[in-house]
A and B are shown apart, each in its own frame.
Chain A
Amino acid sequence: MSETVVAPAPVEVAAPAEAYKGRSVPRKEDRRLVQGQGVFFDDLRRHGMGYVHFVRSPYAHAAITGIDVSKAMALEGVYGTLIGEEVAALTDPFFELSTPPGADIKDYALAVGKVRFQGEPVAAVVGATRELARDAAELVEVSYEPLPTIVDGEAALAEGAEILHEEAGSNVVWSGTFDWGDYEAALAEADRVVRIERLHFHRFSSTPLECSGCLVEYERATGQWTIYGNHQMPGIGAIWMGPSLRCGLDKLRFVSHDIGGGFGNKICLHPYYVACCLLARKLKRPVQWTEWRSDQHMANAHGNERTFLEVEVPVSADGTMLGFSVRAIDDCGAFPRYEPLGAIIWAQVTPGVYRWRNIRVDFTQVCTNKSPVSPNRGYSRMQHLWLTERIVDIVALELDLDPVEVRKRNFIRADEMPYETPNGCVYDSGDYALCLDRALELIGHDRLEERRREAAERGKLLGLGIGSTLDSGTNNFGQSQLLNPELQFSGNNEVATVKLDLFGELVVTLGTVPQGQGHETVAAQVVADILGVSPDDIHVRPGHDSYWNSHAGFSGTYASQFAVTGLGAVKGATELLADQIKRLAAVILGVGDPAAIELAEGHARLRDNPEAALPFMACGAIINANNAGLPPELDDVTLNCRYVFRPHFEVPDKERNFGNLTLTYATQIHACVIEVDRETGVTEIVDYAAVDDCGTRIHPQIVEGQVHGATAQALGAAIHEAFVYDEDGNLLTPNFYDYHVPHALDMPPMKNGYIESPSPFSPLGAKGMGEGGGAGIHAVCAALQDALRVAGRPIVDTSHNPYHRVWQLLRDPEATRRLVRVEQR
């Protein structure tokens, strides 16, 4: 069932009539993008448009005691302003997903009465040019009364802590416990119990290069808003914005063409979009907003920050892990927005890649005076999988076992697939042991000790670490009901349309919102295989437009699901079209049974007599413009097919917190070799191997591109990237100087390997795989801990280990050793 493939096939250009699935065909998107002809929202112009600049809070927490826009309004070229008071009058607060107290939080497009994070927008100014809007913004006078700040998740829970949201009366957004299997029995059975006092997963994000933004038009006659922007999940965006703006969802048309990366950071744009909608309506002109880089770092979205306390791991002497218990505190920043979904999303991968059956998680999510979070790449699973990987490596260290052996002993086995986890998720397929072997081979595991010696001669400590991730894809939104039983969300869907036009053109529209994943190309491959044409014969409309009627409530690109839901919709629509073409051809060619028709080389023809063929153009012409005389049984043949792909999910069991939460599970097992300078703590990743299994690869080159990119982001986060706040809630890393992302010289050599364990549950056997990068963070932490074994065996207790942190571990290994206790039983 699995085959090992070392590298994808190179791009092939000439395409004979054979299957396109599995081939790295040239990307349709490329031609315009390499010529700088991509259409990103900031490229658009509208006559009379105004440019928006947001006035933002310098304080992390303060009461707003006054706003005066008069001086800004007096500046020539200023079209108008918007303040929180207006927003509170014209809109309803955004709908909250949580139960009380989180449910009572009031979240608006602009700060109302109070600011809760540095950079929070307080007012908007619109000017005739970008520069004028910026100048005018400086003339807006806002007076603040600073309040005490909370910048730590644990502090948010402390007795007497300052409360961010008075209406909620608590900094808790959501809390609950999960208890699967029989943890007490596992404890009783254990030979050892390893206890880790505290681990911390830090705040960072994928910082897409294109910042957020939109250009909004409002049509007075109909109350129709058109939003040209880069929202990557417009279905949900509309669900927030419609009730807020008190309009029907169809009044919100989302259009996107090219998007410069999203990675989950363009999901919670609705506050800004509502502000722009209000301005477009108020000022009777199109308004355009471009987020600046520092805005994105301060006031768009971060990844979830999570602290793990009281980690407890019962184990057998031979390293079999019997379960774990943890108290998690998730810091979601000043407003929950997409949260508290992060409080359950991790449960898609509760045991990680391991065969634990007894798991207990006490989960609390809190607000702090930091940027709100959104589902950054790897969302919530990455944080949890980091925990499981840290546990494995720390247990191995404490029990003096080889982390490779501990993994193999505890991995879920290929012959157990599909595997039901303790909380009812079904891992569809995978072979973790094989991936690990492949990764170790690629990284040269057998030469490890030799490399260690050689590095030591140069004054470096060398370590090897492994990181495993599962990229769980295609959510069952019913998991939201485990957090809040009143929520009316469950299942998932995606839409596509395929039509055969009058002159024989095949046109596809997608509900997905690609930000670089090559959807146009891959969709065309799928269509080509079904209809017997070449991808070049298929036009896939770039981007997304809710006027296409090709979207549903969950449409968008997120949660590693395009290969399943997007392509599932494309497949479904194309099969409908194929069926219709065959039925039409059967009638035209005078045979009774459509099964006698095959589609090949752009024709519908008789299987037994290929000369009797109807070109697609003829089919299109007949239905669209020349349909007299067609029999009634062809009334429903429109050659314009829309399909909604719906993965089959059940609403999870709310009593037991049990049920399948995602459809597919792609595997990433990565290995990393790191060198540490003993004197300075400066680290260098000198070797890296990534083995991925995302089932059937439709376009191997695109899959590999995702692995490269996700890995780069992980390595950046592991060493350099962090959103750090001081105690007053000032963000210390608001730009690319201080928030250092990997540049070309920072990247280690990378070796990639693949196996394919097709998913039995997805339409094409493919699995979503865009979020697998977390493995890099886990691998770096593991490699670091391995390198420092000879320097006092410190524990790597945080996901972010810049040079000064490594130096600290070298200097004082005892400080982290004190976090771990092993009880013999």
Chain B
Amino acid sequence: MSAPVSGRTVTLTLNGETHEHEVEARRLLVHFIRDDLELTGTHVGCDTGNCGACSVILDGRLVKSCMLLAIQADGCSIETVEGLANGDELHPLQQAFSAHHALQCGYCTPGMLMSAKYLLDNNPEPTEGEIRRAIQGNICRCTGYVNIVAAVAATARGEVSA
């Protein structure tokens, strides 16, 4: 075991691409993603880990990236909203969100999409209650969640308009 460090080079994979970067030990993963890797789709909405706007999938698990240090993600694989679309083709969830007006200002949307993706990756036929539970950690102030739930349910049913 080496001595404690106040910073180090972190190597991680993000949306399939490998990144290597110097980082201070205290740097939150969300700031690393936004400021150091310049992927600004993941957002900050609070300072106590409640709002979920920073949600990403880390080594296959949905987490809040403001509640992790970047240094903890060394060697990990991360998925963010920028990895959902396939070139110009939007992910079914992205299409459904638009079709169902599941976003207004769009600020909670990246985190919301990651939570929805995580749900459908693990539970392809969720009930409405399970959908709400899946996004319970994502605050939205614009939509009241109604259309978000509808969009996720529609995606699960394979009903996504082009």
A and B touch in the complex (CB under 8 A): yes
Q: Kindly state whether residue B40 has any CB partner on chain A within 8 Å.
A: yes
Q: Do residues A35 and B136 form an inter-chain contact, with CB atoms below 8 A?
A: no
Q: Is the CB of B141 within 8 A of A744?
A: no
Return the CB mask of A681-723 against B: 1 if under 8 Å, else 0.
0000000000000000000011011101111110000000000
Select one of A26, A34, A211, A294 contacting B113, CB under 8 A.
Answer: A34
For B48, list chain A residues within 8 Å (CB).
293, 735-737
Q: Are A26 and B99 in contact (CB-based, < 8 A)?
A: yes
A243 within 8 A of B: no
* Whole-angstrom distance between the Cβ of A264 and the nearest chain B Cβ: 12
The DSSP consensus for interface residues of chain B is: loop
Partner of A131, one of B24, B101, B105: B24
For residue A411, CB closer than 8 A to chain B, the reply is no
CB distance from A266 to the nearest CB of B (A): 11
Check A27 against B98 for contact (C-beta < 8 Å).
Answer: yes
- Checking A35, A701, A713, A742 against B81 with a beta-carbon cut-off of 8 angstroms, the contacting residue is A35
CB-nearest residue of chain B to A715: B144
Counting CB contacts under 8 A, is A261 at the interface? yes
Provide the A195-214 mask, 1 if CB < 8 A to any CB of B, else 0. 00000000000111111000
What number of A residues sit within 8 Å (CB to CB) of B? Answer: 62
In the complex, the answer to whether B50 meets A516 with C-beta atoms within 8 Å is: no
Q: Say which residue of A31, A293, A708, A711 sits within 8 Å of B45 (CB atoms).
A: A293
- The verdict on A34 contacting B98 (CB below 8 Å), with A210-B45, A737-B48 known, is yes
Pair A515/B105 contact, Cβ less than 8 Å: yes
Partner of A208, one of B24, B38, B47, B141: B141
Whether A101 is near chain B, meaning CB under 8 Å from some CB there, is no
Taking CB atoms, residues of chain A closer than 8 Å to B145 are 708, 712, 742-744, 747
If A42-B44, A747-B146 touch, whether A736 touches B105 (CB-CB below 8 Å) is no
- Tell me if B65 counts as interface (CB < 8 A to partner A): no
Q: Answer yes or no: A130 CB below 8 A from chain B CBs.
A: yes
Name the B residues within 8 Å of A209 (CB-CB): 43, 45, 51, 53, 105, 107-108, 139-141
A37 — nearest CB in chain B belongs to which residue?
B41
Q: Are B104 and A211 in contact (CB under 8 A)?
A: no
Instruction: List residues of chain B with CB within 8 A of the CB of A515.
Output: 105
Given A36-B110, A515-B105, A705-B104, also A744-B135 (CB < 8 A): yes
Q: How far, in angstroms, from A742 to B135 measured CA to CA in the complex?
A: 12
Q: Is the CB of A705 within 8 A of B139?
A: no
Specify which chain A residues have a CB less than 8 angstroms from the CB of B51 in the assembled complex: 209, 293, 736
> How far, in Å, is A738 (CB) from chain B's closest CB?
9
- Which residues of chain B come closer than 8 Å to A263, judged between CB atoms? 141
B155 interfacial contact with A, CB 8 Å? no
A625 an interface residue at 8 Å Cβ cutoff? no
Chain B, range 22-41, C-beta contacts under 8 Å to A: 24, 26-27, 31, 34-35, 38-41
Q: Per-position contact with A for B134-156: 1 when CB-CB < 8 Å, else 0? A: 01111111111111110000000
Is the beta-carbon distance between B98 and A131 smaller than 8 angstroms? no
B84 within 8 A of A: yes
Contact of B81 with A750 in the complex, beta carbons under 8 Å = no
In contact, A260 and B105 (Cβ under 8 angstroms)? yes
A745–B101 contact, CB under 8 A?
Answer: no
Which residues of chain A are within 8 angstroms of B45 by Cβ–Cβ distance? 209-211, 260, 293
The answer to whether B104 touches A709 (Cβ under 8 A) is yes
* B103: interface (CB < 8 Å): yes
- A594 interface hit (Cβ, 8 Å): no
Is there a chain B Cβ closer than 8 Å to A517's Cβ? yes
Q: In the complex, what residues of A have CB within 8 A of residue B40's CB? A: 36, 40, 42-43
A10 to B45, CA, bound (A): 30
Q: Which residues of chain B have C-beta atoms less than 8 A from A742's C-beta?
A: 144-145
Set B26, B43, B50, B82: member contacting A210, Cβ < 8 A: B43
Other-chain residue from A38, A709, A741 in contact with B106 (beta carbon distance below 8 A): A38
Chain A residues numbered 35-79 whose CB sits less than 8 Å from any CB in chain B: 35-38, 40, 42-43, 45
Q: Which residues of A contact B50 (CB under 8 A)?
A: 735-737
Residue of B nearest to A30 (CB): B98
Contact of A27 (CB < 8 Å), options: B101, B108, B162: B101
How far is it, in angstroms, between the C-alpha of A736 and the C-alpha of B147 when the chains are bound?
Answer: 23
Provide the bound-state CA to CA distance between A697 and B107, in Å.
Answer: 25
Q: Is residue A149 contacting chain B, with contact meaning CB distance below 8 A? A: no
Q: A207 touches which one: B47, B135, B141 (CB < 8 A)?
A: B141
B41 touches A712 (CB 8 A): no
- Of the candidates A131, A259, A709, A735, the one whose C-beta lies within 8 Å of that of B46 is A735
Q: Contacts A36-B82, A211-B45, A736-B48; is A744 near B149 (CB within 8 Å)?
A: yes
Does A388 lie at the interface of the complex (its beta carbon under 8 Å from any beta carbon of B)?
A: no
* A743 contacts across to B, CB distance below 8 A: 136-139, 145
Tell yes or no: A547 within 8 A of B by CB: no
- B105-149 vs A, Cβ < 8 Å mask (1 yes, 0 no): 111111001000000000000000001110111111111111111
Asked if A744 and B138 sit within 8 Å, CB to CB, the answer is yes
> Is A615 at the interface (CB under 8 A from chain B)?
no
Contact: B141 with A30, CB < 8 Å?
no
Interface size band for B? 35 or more
Does A11 touch B at the CB level, under 8 Å?
A: yes
Residue of B47, B94, B106 near A258 (CB, 8 A) is: B106
**Chain A residues, Cβ within 8 Å of B132:** 744-745, 747
User: Which residue of B24, B48, B101, B105 has the most chain A CB atoms within 10 A of its CB atom?
Assistant: B105
A667 proximal to B (CB < 8 A): no
B9 interface residue (CB < 8 Å to A): no
For A211, what are the chain B residues with a Cβ–Cβ distance below 8 Å? Answer: 45
Q: Check A40/B107 contact, CB under 8 A, given A743-B139, A747-B146.
A: yes
Chain B residues near A710 (CB-CB < 8 A)? 144
Most buried by A among B85, B107, B137, B148: B107
Say if the beta carbon of A503 comes within 8 Å of chain B.
Answer: no
- Determine the distance from Cα of A745 to Cα of B51 in the docked complex, in whole angstroms: 14
Quick one: which of B43, B97, B139, B142 contacts A709, CB cutoff 8 A?
Answer: B142
CA distance A384 to B148 in the complex (A): 32
In contact, B148 and A744 (Cβ under 8 angstroms): yes
A210 and B104 contact, CB distance less than 8 A = no
The CA of A742 and the CA of B97, in the complex, are separated in Å by 20
Partner of A516, one of B24, B105, B137: B105
- A602 contacts B by Cβ under 8 Å: no
Residue numbers in B under 8 Å from A741 (CB-CB): 139, 141
Q: Is the CB of A736 within 8 A of B139?
A: yes
**A591 CB contacts on chain B under 8 angstroms:** none
Q: How far is the CA of A30 from the CA of B110 in the complex (A)?
A: 12
Contact assessment for A31 and B98 in the assembled complex, using a CB-CB cutoff below 8 Å: yes
* Residues in A neighbouring B113, C-beta threshold 8 A: 34
Give the Cβ gap from B28 to chain A, nearest Cβ, in Å: 9
- Whether A709 contacts B44 by the Cβ 8 Å rule is no
Question: Bound complex: CA of A210 vs CA of B45, how far in Å?
Answer: 5
> Is there an interface contact between B139 and A13, defined as CB atoms closer than 8 Å?
no
Q: How far is the CA of A745 from the CA of B136 in the complex (A)?
A: 6
B142 and A11 contact, CB distance less than 8 A: no
Tell me which of A10, A34, A259, A713 contacts B103 (CB under 8 A).
A34
Query: Which residues from B are CB-within-8-Å of A518?
Result: 104
A548: chain B residues at CB < 8 Å are none
Q: For B85, list chain A residues within 8 Å (CB).
A: 35
Nearest-neighbour CB distance to chain A for B131, whole angstroms, equals: 8
Whether the Cβ atoms of A258 and B105 lie closer than 8 Å is: yes
B133 near A745 with CB under 8 A, answer: yes
Inter-chain contacts of B72 with A (CB < 8 A): none
Once A35-B85, A209-B53 are accepted as A-B contacts, the answer to whether A13 and B162 lie under 8 Å apart by CB is yes
A-side contacts of B31, CB under 8 Å: 130
- Sample of 6 more A-B contacts, CB < 8 Å, known A11-B98, A29-B106, A516-B107: A26-B98, A31-B98, A36-B82, A36-B109, A36-B110, A258-B105
- A-B CB contact pairs (8 Å), 10 listed: A30-B98, A32-B106, A34-B103, A35-B82, A131-B27, A261-B104, A293-B47, A516-B107, A743-B145, A745-B133
Q: Which B residues fall within an 8 A CB radius of A?
A: 24, 26-27, 31, 34-35, 38-48, 50-51, 53, 80-82, 84-85, 90, 94, 97-101, 103-110, 113, 131-133, 135-149, 161-162
Of all A-B residue pairs in the complex, the 8 with the closest CB atoms, nearest first, are A36-B41, A260-B107, A516-B105, A33-B106, A516-B104, A712-B144, A708-B144, A736-B50
